[in-house]
């Protein structure tokens, strides 16, 4: 593979990253740039792929967290991922939720749930996720009633 294919891949990744703003594809674009340098130096395809993987991994592990932290400090509105994306979402209580035990259906999955206070929320009630603590959704009553 010639170096210009890696540059084309890099440009495509940067263009897609501009739409997603997740800063993952941007790190892969850096890996593609590294592979392009190896290709321009007449490196074998195997070495190009190895450099792509190594540079991408280093950028994902070292640069991405720093960039996300920096962007959040500036007040940029970044899309949340993983458990952080579930905070603020509505869920339906599957098994009564108390401060000690309970289950909710959240984003199509059943989660262990707890309340922050001593309230007991009955099954079938719509709740809102306040925070995620490990694998447990901390919930409170929703602003609007559940629909049947």
What tens digit of pLDDT does each residue of 51-60 get? 999 999 999 8
- The tens digit of pLDDT for each residue in 87-106 reads 778 888 888 898 888 999 88
Same domain, 54 and 86: no
Mean pLDDT of all residues in 13-17: 91
- Domain assignment present for residue 130? The answer is yes
Same domain, 63 and 92: no
* Residue where a domain terminates, one of 43, 73, 103: 73
How many CA atoms within 13 Å lie on the side-chain side of 51? 20
Cβ neighbours of 53 (radius 10 Å): 14
Mean pLDDT of all residues in 67-73: 74
Range of the domain at 127: 82-141
The pLDDT value recorded for residue 148 is 40
Same domain, 49 and 93: no
Same domain, 58 and 108: no
Average pLDDT, the chain: 84
Q: Pseudo-torsion of CA 51, 1, 5, 26, nearest 10°? A: -20
CATH of the domain at 116: 2.40.50.140
- Domain assignment present for residue 135? The answer is yes
The pLDDT value recorded for residue 65 is 82
Same domain, 137 and 111: yes
For 41-130, where are the alpha helices, taking DSSP H only?
45-58, 64-73
Which of 24-28, 29-33, 80-84, 137-141 has the highest average model confidence (pLDDT)? 29-33
- Domain assignment present for residue 109? The answer is yes
- Domain assignment present for residue 146? The answer is no
- Domain assignment present for residue 132? The answer is yes
pLDDT band at residue 80 under the 50/70/90 scheme: low
pTM summary value? 0.54
Percent of the chain with pLDDT over 70: 86
Structural domain count, the chain:
2
Mean pLDDT of all residues in 23-32: 91
- Domain assignment present for residue 101? The answer is yes
Contact 87, 132 (CB under 8 A): yes
- Domain assignment present for residue 148? The answer is no
The pLDDT value recorded for residue 27 is 92
Measure the N-to-C terminal CA separation of the chain; round to a whole number of Å: 57
């Amino acid at each position: 593979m010639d170096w210009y294919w890696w540059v084309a891949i890099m440009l495509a990744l940067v263009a897609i990253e501009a739409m997603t703003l997740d800063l993952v594809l941007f790190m892969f674009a850096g890996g593609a740039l590294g592979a392009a340098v190896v290709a321009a130096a007449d490196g074998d395809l195997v070495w190009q792929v190895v450099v792509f993987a190594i540079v991408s991994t280093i950028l994902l592990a070292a640069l991405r967290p720093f960039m996300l932290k920096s962007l959040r400090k500036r007040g940029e509105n970044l899309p949340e991922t993983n458990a952080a994306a579930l905070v603020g979402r509505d869920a339906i209580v599957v098994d009564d939720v108390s401060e000690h035990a309970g289950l909710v259906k959240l984003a199509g999955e059943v989660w262990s749930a707890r309340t922050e206070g001593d309230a007991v929320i009955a099954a079938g009630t719509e709740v809102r996720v306040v925070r995620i603590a490990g694998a447990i959704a901390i919930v409170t009553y929703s602003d609007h009633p559940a629909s049947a």
